[in-house]
Structure 1
Amino acid sequence: MQKRKKIVILGSINMDIILQLTRLPKPGETMKVQKFETAGGGKGANQAVAAARSNAEVHFIGRVGDDQYGKQMCALLKENSINVEHIKIDPSHATGQAYILLQQSGENSILVNSGANASIQSEDIEAAQELIESADVIVAQFEVPLPRIIEAFKIARQAAVQTILNPAPALKVPDELLALTDLVTPNEVEAEMLTDIHVVNKQDAHQAAEKLRMQGVKHVLLTLGSEGSYYLTQTGQEEAVAAYKVKAVDTTGAGDTFIGCLAAKLQNNFENMAQAVRYATKASSLTVQKLGAIPSIPTEKEILAK
């Protein structure tokens, strides 16, 4: 039986405000919203819930505002058995919010107000040093300040803790951070931002992955939406993994489900990369068939039953 992994998530916590539309409005156009809903979200929170629902022991480093959204999100994380000891209540900033424009096609556009997520300080990372050192893996995304990720990954590297970087939303990444990263997981847009290679096929994906490895990353996993994913390991193992063909209702949270589930199942030596990627692929295919981010993330039992 695989050991239950101890995962630290350094990431964002948002309240998602979901606006269902027939399509995106044109410039100057006023449209009616078909339906309005709120749901827990933020890339960090989504990935934490995905990992926890896949039987990982999950701890969170982050910030929320001293407001109702912050209370709701901490309660939601606790409900999913996530340790919130290192989530700080920030009286100076509101809890992060994401406004999701969901079209009838299932595609979405997202506007983010970072709020407290952008105010994570070095003192938050220092306070969590022992936690990071005791973990199997730390996962971070770009909805929190880059300097904090570098600080956390330095602690992890010194303690031989696995580091997974989800470089989303797309930004240029300092070489210092890439050199501290064991596994980087960009999508096509993020891969192009990192490498200047436009990824449309496996050959492009291989070139982008090789370039990232030359920049210091040990392992690369590119997520390619409906085309699946492609990975290249430090030992040269590579594979293009097909996506499951399903009818997408809402793609929000699919990538985060993939990352969280992957982190929960990937061995520290990366020897089970193929199996972990397939597990994560199946999980994300279930997520897109339901509305919302956290509400749609499947459990390990649901994933293995399909």
Structure 2
Amino acid sequence: MSVIVFGSLNMDLVARTPRLPKPGETLTGHRFETVPGGKGANQAVAVARLGVPTAMVGRVGGDGFGQDLLRGLQESGVTCDRILIDSSTHSGIAMIAVDDASENTIILIPGANGRVDETDVARLTEILPQAKVLLLQLEIPLPMVVAAARAAKSAGVTVLFDPAPARTDLPDELFPLIDLITPNQVETGQLVGFPVTDLESAQKAAAVLHERGVGTVISKLGKAGAVCMAADETFEIPSFPVQAVDTVAAGDCFNGGLAAGLAAGLTLRQATTQAAAAAAISVTRPGAQPSLPTREELRAFLQARSVSLPGF
């Protein structure tokens, strides 16, 4: 497999509402749906739909949601034989409210994701020699994220780390294991302890993360695009203007597009451009995994904007 994703699988329970509720308030929504999600699974689907061989390692519960999650991954072309069905618990759940302005709130219940342990890392380690990129996030126990990064580093596999959901207790030992980190503005601020609002503050934050041992920092600045700061180059990738409908999986799509590009041999600048384009497509459609573009859709999007990338 060119890309392995080690992380979470959730079923998203999505409520569409005119606006987000205030504490103690009951709102009447427009629509309800169940959508396969989880940051790990979303990223695996994002990579696979772009035509790059992808495997997922993680856990689902012994419930109907677990079967649905596996089916969705398989239909997208993700290899699932390293996903454990844990019959002792339920699958991960994300309760999501999305308002008419496409903003969202999320309540996450880990379920099987919270039970990922050393045996899952062992299943990952067995297939790392087949991989070019390992994608990691923070919806599974943090010690297992560190263990997976260490295993990938030992195997010579590029570690791409999405520090989400945001948290401030990442251990010092993790940072030198990370080849690329991709925080958004909120996550960057929590990582470095000061607000990140523009290019100048993003560069200052990248310097802090480089000092901690991270190789390359890609700060996602929303409509302002992304800033990539590597050891030997710094560049900006502007966002692609689109009409946003739902931003739930945009970050996952960005990371999937980035991993797919790196695994396919694109340069860092090219892979980041691909990531930004894929994420732009995703926000124009509702849902997590249903919003993730195929390779053909990405090709059409790039051609319509006269953007040239190898392979497209």
Please say whether Structure 1 and Structure 2 have the same fold, judged by a TM-score greater than 0.5: yes
Among residues 67, 70, 76, which one is paired with 2:66 in the alignment? Answer: 70
In the alignment, is the contact (CA less than 8 A) between 1:136 and 1:268 conserved in 2?
Answer: no
Q: Which piece of structure 1 moves more, 63-72 or 219-228?
A: 219-228
Shift of 1:267: 5.3
Q: CA deviation at 1:268?
A: 8.8
Question: 1:38-77 counterparts in 2 under 5 A?
Answer: 38-77=34-73
The answer on 1:145 being equivalent to 2:144 is no
Alignment partner, residue 304 of structure 1: 299
Cα distance in 2, alignment partners of residues 268 and 305 from structure 1: 19
290, 293, 298: which one aligns with 2:288: 293
Aligned mate of 1:247, from 243, 247, 250: 243
CA shift digits 1:196-229 (9 cap, x unpaired): 1211110000000111010000111111112211
- The aligned amino acid for 2:290 is P
Q: Report the Cα distance in structure 1 between the residues aligned to 2:248 and 2:120, rounded to whole angstroms.
A: 28
**Aligned equivalent of 2:197, options 200, 204, 208:** 200
1:16 aligns with 2:12: yes
Is the 8 Å Cα contact of residues 133 and 155 (structure 1) preserved in structure 2? Answer: no
CA contact (8 A) 1:140 1:166 kept: yes
Question: Match for 2:101: what amino acid?
Answer: S
Gaps of 5+ in 2: 302-312
- Number of residue pairs matched? 300
Identity of aligned residues (%): 39
Match of 1:183 in 2: 180
Residue 209 (structure 2) aligned to one of 190, 200, 212: 212
The Cα RMSD (Å) is 1.3
Residues 162, 268 of structure 1: 8 Å contact kept: no
1-side partners of 2:263 and 2:31: how far apart?
A: 42
- Given the alignment of the two structures, is residue 274 of structure 1 paired with residue 269 of structure 2, yes or no? yes
Query: What is the one-letter code of the residue matched to 1:201?
Result: D
**Cα distance in 1 between the residues matched to 2:113 and 2:187:** 21
3-state SS in 2 of match to 1:266? helix
Letter in 2 for 1:50: A
Where in structure 1 do 4 or more consecutive aligned residues deviate above 4 Å?
Answer: none
Aligned letter for 2:192? T
For each residue in 1:160-219, what CA deviation from the matched residue of structure 2 results, as whole angstroms up to 9, or x when unmatched? 110011000111211111111100111111111111121111000000011101000011
Asked if the contact 2:20/2:104 (under 8 Å) is kept, the reply is no
1:133 positional shift: 2.8
Match of 1:284 in 2: 279
Shift of 1:91: 1.4
Equivalent in the alignment of 2:308: none
* 1:224 matched residue in structure 2: 221
Does the CA-based 8 Å contact 2:3-2:263 persist in structure 1? Answer: no
Q: What is the Cα deviation at residue 134 of structure 1?
A: 2.4
Shift of 1:55: 1.2
Q: Distance in 1 between matches of 2:270 and 2:47?
A: 16
| Aligned ranges 1:163-174 → 2 under 5 Å | 163-172=159-168, 173-174=170-171
- Residue aligning to 1:108: 104
Alpha-carbon distance in structure 1 between the residues aligned to 2:25 and 2:236: 42
The amino acid that maps onto 1:299 is T
Aligned to 1:260: 256
Q: TM-score, normalised by structure 1?
A: 0.95
Whether the 8 Å CA contact 2:92–2:112 is kept in 1: the answer is yes
Separation in structure 2 between the aligned mates of residue 156 and residue 133 of structure 1, nearest angstrom:
9
When normalised by structure 2's length, the TM-score is 0.93
Q: How does 1:81-100 map to 2 (within 5 A)?
A: 81-100=77-96
Give the secondary structure class of the aligned counterpart of 2:248.
coil
